[in-house]
Amino acid sequence: MGYVHDTQMSAFTTPAEMIGTVGTFANTVAAHIWTLNKTAADNTSVIKIPLKLPANAAALKGAYLKSVDIWWTCGTGANDVVSAEIYKSTFPANTAALTTASVAFSYDTGHDTAAERITLAAHKMTLTITTPFWVDEDNEVYVELTIDAAANSVDVLQGARANYTLRL
């Protein structure tokens, strides 16, 4: 039986797997490119980006999450605010409550100021986890991307990628 320790693994989250709140969202396809489009409106939306990672009950096995890349385009009008948060939920034993905690990270140098994240542009934003961690079998890890749009802001999400080490 072999041993796997691959430091260059990734898992892609498609636009169809993302869930948006507040506003009008539509999955669309053009030229064979699938996207999640947010219609222009002056509102604040939160998009949940689930990270589907191999988890393991054994210590130091499964996915060791290091960073997340998110691709989106802001068109027509700049957003007012764009921010991200990474969360790790822990599913409880019977009768206990679900807990969720934020995960510390840093933005890449092209998105480390608020002004850089709101621009009319195609974006690839990398969130680098301050203290990478192993995903346990009872964890759910996801990103919440908050977009406070201006009245004419149109946002198009192309997908996200979790980057991790796999150990089995």
State the average pLDDT for the chain.
Answer: 94
Please report the DSSP string for 73-136 in residue order: EEESS--SEEEEEEEEEEPPSTTSPPEEEEE-EEE-TTTSSHHHHTSSEEEEEEEEEEEEEEPP
Instruction: Check whether 161 has a pLDDT greater than 90.
Output: yes
Superfamily assignment of 5-167 in CATH?
Answer: Galactose-binding domain-like (2.60.120.260)
Instruction: Check whether 1 has a pLDDT greater than 70.
Output: no
Residues in the chain: 168
pLDDT band (50, 70, 90) for residue 162: very high
Q: What is the DSSP letter of 53?
A: -
Q: How high is the pLDDT of residue 3?
A: 83
Which ranges of the chain does DSSP label H, i.e. alpha helix? Answer: 114-117
pLDDT tens-digit series, residues 11-67: 999 999 999 999 899 999 999 999 999 999 999 999 999 999 999 999 899 999 999
pLDDT tens-digit series, residues 95-137: 888 899 999 999 999 999 999 999 999 999 999 999 999 999 9
pLDDT tens-digit series, residues 144-157: 999 999 999 999 99
Q: How high is the pLDDT of residue 159?
A: 97
Query: pTM for the whole thing?
Result: 0.94
| Extents of the domains making up the chain | 5-167
